[in-house]
Amino acid sequence: MRTQMVEYVHKLQDEICSAISQIDNNLYREDEWEREEGGGGRSRVFANGEVFEKAGVNVSVVHGTLSPEAAEKMGGGHQLKGQDLEFFATGISLVLHPKNPMAPTVHANYRYFERGLGEKEGSWWFGGGADLTPSYLFENDAVHFHQVHKDACDRHTVGNYNKFKQWCDDYFFIKHRGERRGVGGIFFDDVRTDDKQECFEFIKDCGDNFLNAYMPILERRMNLQFTEQNKIWQQIRRGRYVEFNLVYDRGTKFGLTTNGRIESILMSLPQTGRWEYCHEAESGSEEEKLLHVLRKPVDWLVS
C-alpha cells in the first residue's frame, strides 16, 4: 500500500499541475526536499499567473518517530496511547488561490498513515477531502462541487457523503469568527476497513475527480468583471483563510511538530490578505449573502 499510494500521489500531482499550466499559461517552481528525520517531498508552486495569484501542489513521503504531542494531533480513532511512535505518512496537498474574486479558492488533500508496521488494530488509515472557499456565492458552483464528491462517495462502501459533508462543515470552522472557512465539500479521517484496497480505491476516486469538481467552476468565473471593492472583500476573506490555517488546522500543527519543511507547510497561505478593523458587510449585499451560508451551512444537494 505504501508503494501504491506514493506512486498515485505523484501521478495526481503531475496531472493537476499540467491542468493548471494549461489554463494559466504559467510554469511552477519545483523543490525536491529531504527531511532530516526521514523522507522528503516534491513541492510545486505557481505564483503571479494570469489566473492564479498563487497555487501550490505538494507531495510528501515522510517517516520517523513521533513525539507524543504530534501523535495526539493526528486525532481520529487511531491513537495508540503512546505505542508505536514510529510512523510513515504520504499524501498530496493542494491549495489554489485565483486572482479573480469571483473565482473560488479550493483546497484538497489525500493521505495515508501507518504507525509502527501498520499491523495492529487502528495502526493504519486514510484521510483527506476537498473544500471550496468562495469570496462571492454562486449556488450552482457549490452544488456542482458537492455533487461530484457525493458521486465519488456513492461509488464506494467506505464513502459516506452525508457524514463527510457534516465533518467538513464542522472541521473548517473558525470558532472565534463564528463562521466556516467556505461552503464545504467532504472531509474525513480514520478511513479503514478489513479491505485496505477498497479504502485506497475510494481515495483514488476522490483524487481523480478533483479536476472535474473544480475546473468547470474556475472556467465559469475566472474572466468575470469585478471592482476594486470586490477585490478588497476577497482579501478580507483570505485573511479568514489565514486565521483558520494558522490557528486551527491540524495538518499545519502536525507539520510544525514533526519538523516539516516550513515553506511547504505554509504553502497553503495566500499571497496576500487583508485585516480591516471591525469590518462589516453591508446589509443586503452579496458579501452578506456569503456570510449567511458561512454561519449556517447549507445542504446543497437537497432538491
Domain assignment present for residue 300? The answer is no
> Strand 52-65 and strand 105-115: pairing?
unpaired
Q: Which amino acid is at 302?
A: V
Per the prediction, the chain carries an average pLDDT of: 92
220 Ramachandran zone, left/alpha/beta (phi>0; psi -120 to 50)? alpha
For residue 109, the cross-strand partners are 93, 129
pTM above 0.75, yes or no: yes
Q: Is the pLDDT of residue 298 over 90?
A: yes
Report if residue 145 sits inside a domain. Answer: yes
pLDDT of residue 285: 97
Question: CATH number, domain at 129?
Answer: 3.40.1500.10
**Set of cell numbers at residue 228:** 476594486
Mean pLDDT of 239-257: 91
Q: Phi and psi (nearest 5°) for 29?
A: -90, 130
**C-alpha–C-alpha distance, residues 3 and 197, integer Å:** 12
Residue 184 lies in a domain: yes
Q: Which of 1-15, 55-69, 136-150, 227-241 has the lowest mean pLDDT?
A: 55-69
The residue whose grid cell reads 493504519 is: 124
From the candidates 107, 144, 146, 149, give the one annotated as an active-site residue: 107
Q: How many whole angstroms separate alpha carbon 246 and alpha carbon 176?
A: 13
pLDDT at 161: 97
Which run of H or of E encompasses 129? Answer: strand 124-133
Average pLDDT over residues 229-235: 98
Contacts of 262 (CB under 8 A, 6+ apart): 256
Which helix (H) or strand (E) segment holds residue 185: the answer is strand 184-191
Cell reading at 82: 503512546
Q: Which strand (E) or helix (H) includes residue 93?
A: strand 86-98
Residue 68, CB-side half-sphere exposure with 13 Å CA sphere: 3
116 or 153: which carries more pLDDT confidence?
Answer: 153
Q: Is the pLDDT of residue 79 over 60?
A: no
Record the cell numbers describing residue 194, joined without a space: 478489513
Question: How does pLDDT run across 204-231, given as a tens digit for each residue?
Answer: 999 999 999 999 999 999 999 999 999 9
Does residue 301 lie in a domain region? no
Q: How many separate domains does the chain show?
A: 1
In a domain, 146, yes or no: yes
Structural domain boundaries, residue 62? 2-295
For residues 115 and 193, give the distance between their C-alpha atoms in angstroms, rounded to a whole number.
Answer: 16
Active site residue 176: no
Residue 68: predicted pLDDT: 74
| Residue 82 resides in a domain | yes
In this structure, is residue 77 part of a structural domain? yes
How far is Cα 62 from Cα 80, in angstroms, rounded to an integer?
19
Cα separation, 231 vs 102, in Å, equals 9
Give every CB contact of residue 280 below 8 A, 6+ residues apart in sequence.
none
Q: Is residue 205 included in any domain, yes or no?
A: yes
> Measured between alpha carbons, how far is 292 from 297 in angstroms, rounded to an integer?
8
Question: Which three cell numbers mark 198?
Answer: 477498497
